């Protein structure tokens, strides 16, 4: 574990995952209960992202995610309502766990960036909070 923040139900954690270098390439491994502790119900990825775009700018009412940069790089800003942090995500073997109550924004994408996200909910059951003031109000409901 490289960094961890926990405040009640609100959390983020940057972890290093195994990367096996072979003669034909590299094999990255993320395992349930070793690298993340939720059942994966949705996987999505972003690629061919406009370099100057800002993605995210939202939180979730309840959602666990593991974010991995498979190629290139981008900056991921997280906000717990009390603490803010920027992570530089690149194609090294780092994965960032976010619980849903974290406000997040991704920007400064390299032209070859590929972001992979594992989630514990199907999209239709996900409750996205897109207004920052609503995000702060949701945090008050939790505490």
Three-state secondary structure readout of 54-106 = CEEEEEECCCEEEEEEEECEEEEEEECCCCEEEEEEECCCEEEEEECCCEEEE
Q: CATH number of the domain at 3-142, please? A: 2.60.120.10
Domains of the chain by residue range: 3-142
pLDDT of residue 8: 77
pLDDT tens for 17-42 read: 988 999 999 999 999 998 899 999 99
Where residue 1 falls among pLDDT bands split at 50, 70, 90? low
**What's the CA gap between 37 and 5, in Å, rounded?**
16
Residue 142 has pLDDT above 80, yes or no: no
Q: How far is CA 66 from CA 30, 88, 100, in A?
A: 10, 15, 11
pLDDT tens for 104-118 read: 999 999 999 999 999
| Encoded tokens for 66 | 């593991």
């Amino acid at each position: 574990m490289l960094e961890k923040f926990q405040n009640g139900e609100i959390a983020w954690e940057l972890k290093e995952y195994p990367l096996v270098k072979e003669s034909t390439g590299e094999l990255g491994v993320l395992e349930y209960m070793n690298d993340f502790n939720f059942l994966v119900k949705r996987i999505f990825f972003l690629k061919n992202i406009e370099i100057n775009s800002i993605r995210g700018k939202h939180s979730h009412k309840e959602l666990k995610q593991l974010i991995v940069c498979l190629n290139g790089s981008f900056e991921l800003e997280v906000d717990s309502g009390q603490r803010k942090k920027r992570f530089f995500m690149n194609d090294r073997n780092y994965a960032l766990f976010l619980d849903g109550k974290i406000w997040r924004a991704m920007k400064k994408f390299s032209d070859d960036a590929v972001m992979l996200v594992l989630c514990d909910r199907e999209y239709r059951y996900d409750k996205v909070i897109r207004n920052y003031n609503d995000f702060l109000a949701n945090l008050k409901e939790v505490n």
